[in-house]
Amino acid sequence: MAVQHEILSRLKPRIRKLGRPPGLAVVLAGHDPASEIYVRSKIKACAELGIFSEKLTPSETATTEELAALVEELNRRSDIDGILVQMPLPKHVDARRVLETVAADKDADGFHPMNVGFLVAGRPAPRSCTPAGIVELLKHYQIPIAGRHAVVLGRSDIVGKPMALMLLQENATVTICHSRTVNLPAMCRQADILVAAIGRAAFVTADFIQPGATVVDVGINRITDLAEAARLGRSDEFAAKGKAVVGDVNPLDVARVAGAYTPVPGGVGPLTIAMLMSNTVGLAERHQGAA
Q: Which positions are annotated as active-site residues?
A: 42, 86, 109
Provide the residue type at 156 as one letter: S
CB 164 within 8 Å of CB 152: yes
Q: Which of 166, 262, 246, 251 is nearest to 214 (CA)?
A: 262
Helix axes 2-16, 269-287, angle to 10 degrees: 10
* Residues 61, 173: Cα–Cα separation, whole Å: 45
Provide the residue type at 42 as one letter: K
In sequence order, what DSSP letters do the residues of 204-230 get, joined into one string? B-GGG--TT-EEEE---EEE--HHHHH
CA atoms within 13 A on the CB side of 286: 17
